[in-house]
Amino acid sequence: MIAFLLVVLLVLASTIWAMFGGQALGLPVGELVLLAGLFLLFFGAGIYVAAALGLLGMLIGLMYSDRPFWLFLGQTIWAPSSNYVLVAVPLFLLMGEILLRAGLSEKLYRALNVWLARLPGGLLHTNIVSCAVFSAISGSSVATAATMGSVALPYFERTRYNTRMVLGSLAAGGALGNLIPPGITFIIYGLITETSVGQLYIAAVMPSLLVTLLFIAVILWHGLTHGRMQAPARLPLEARLRSLVDLVPTTLLILLVLGSIYGGLATPTEAAALGVVGAAIFALIEGRFSLRMLQDSAEATARTTALIGLILFGAYLLNFVLTSLRVPQAMAEMVSALPLPGWSIVALILLFYLALGTFMEGFSMIITTVPIVFPIIVALGYDPVWFGVVVTMMVEIALISPPDGTVMYVLQGMRPSGGPITDVFTGVMPFLAVYLLAVAILLALPEIALWLPRAMS
């Protein structure tokens, strides 16, 4: 089905380009369709994203560049990859790894259980809220899903909760990881488009709250329509207040990281460094800090950072070649000249992201497509900060979209007793639907994202 839709899209693209005289973006239609086919072949074949991007860049450069572009490759890769802003990526990853190994995520989950377990939907609310809180210090969807999944899944094995809803709520909660500041996707988007990362973080606050509330509404609806689980005994107020002590480390870290950014006291990179120091201090207080723990955290961070770095290198090569051939500029001019209102063009772009997310990992989508799509958005007069929030939401949707949602496979691999992957696919569908609803609301009411940055400027 997906392949059929992609073929239809290619045919439609060829028809549109043919209307412009058989040439599109300065290249023959047949060659452009061939390049689009190679793009789909590389990513559909499942080869490494970095290799696919690099190969496409080399092929396009050799076919169309009128100068020896390989002489510029070293400088092309080095200049953006040595950007100071990128240092925040491994720092946020390291902070999350330390928190996981220090056991603070387990304390967070246990404390929230005390306050949320008696609501309709019960402990499923804890999955969403704990993921939302942890996202505010991790910056990564995969890290959030893996961390909270490792805490929650063994516990739910001993309950009678619907397995699909448990997995779906954890996947949806994990998908908040990049949307809730300090999401790593915003750092990459800001680097590519030269948009303020601080402004992106501020703009993401209200959309994050909107998505979280919609997820909670799904669980409330499920709890009210499918019958409530037997609610646990009501704890005395003293015991509930005592549980708040377990929230102190997470709360202080959020204040340290986001407070320093929003207060103008630190850049995102500096705030990430403060977060690592804070996480290490809390690990020391918990008696979990050791050189072995620090080494394990650093190794896990290095593996993820190396993966991201290779993807960036391949993407920068491809982007350099495309920009040299003026492909993004030509696409922006062509699309802005179409006899369609701007909102419909933006809607088509978002539908393209939705289709792309069914077979492509979200982080790669940002690096591959934003350099081409961004000039179109700017030419149509839309705010770059608003689009950064919307495209990040589309990336998060890709992370929980069958059949290639990364977060879903992370949770599937963590299930203690196993089971079919279709459990995750089915369970995440209601949350996927309301996430798309949130994107539609943001399209209709862009001020949801923009009013807070303007108020704080």
Q: List, for residues 99-112, the tens digit of each pLDDT value.
A: 878 878 778 888 88
What's the pLDDT at 119?
A: 77
Tell me how far apart the alpha carbons of residues 176 and 3 are, in angstroms, rounded to a whole number. 29
Write out the H or E segment, with its range, that includes residue 319. helix 291-324
Q: List, for residues 381-398, the tens digit of each pLDDT value.
A: 899 999 999 999 988 888
Tell me how far apart the alpha carbons of residues 108 and 150 are, in angstroms, rounded to a whole number. 13
The 8-class DSSP code of residue 119 comes to: S
Tell me how far apart the alpha carbons of residues 201 and 47 are, in angstroms, rounded to a whole number. 33
Chain Cα centroid distance, residue 106: 23
What's the pLDDT at 35?
A: 63
Closest CA to 119 of 271, 231, 259: 231
**Whether the Cβ atoms of residue 262 and residue 129 lie closer than 8 Å to each other:** no
- Which residues of the chain carry a pLDDT beneath 70? 1-50, 65-72, 76, 79-81, 83-85, 227-237, 239, 308, 315, 319, 322-323, 326-338, 356-364, 403-404
Tokens of 97: 């790894």
Tell me how far apart the alpha carbons of residues 324 and 327 are, in angstroms, rounded to a whole number. 8
In sequence order, what are the beta bridge partners of 27? 24
What's the pLDDT at 248?
A: 85
CA dihedral (452, 430, 407, 149) positive or negative: positive
Tokens of 282: 């809390």
The 8-class DSSP code of residue 27 comes to: E
The most distant pair of C-alpha atoms in the chain lies apart, rounded to whole Å, by 76
Domain ranges across the chain: 1-46, 84-304
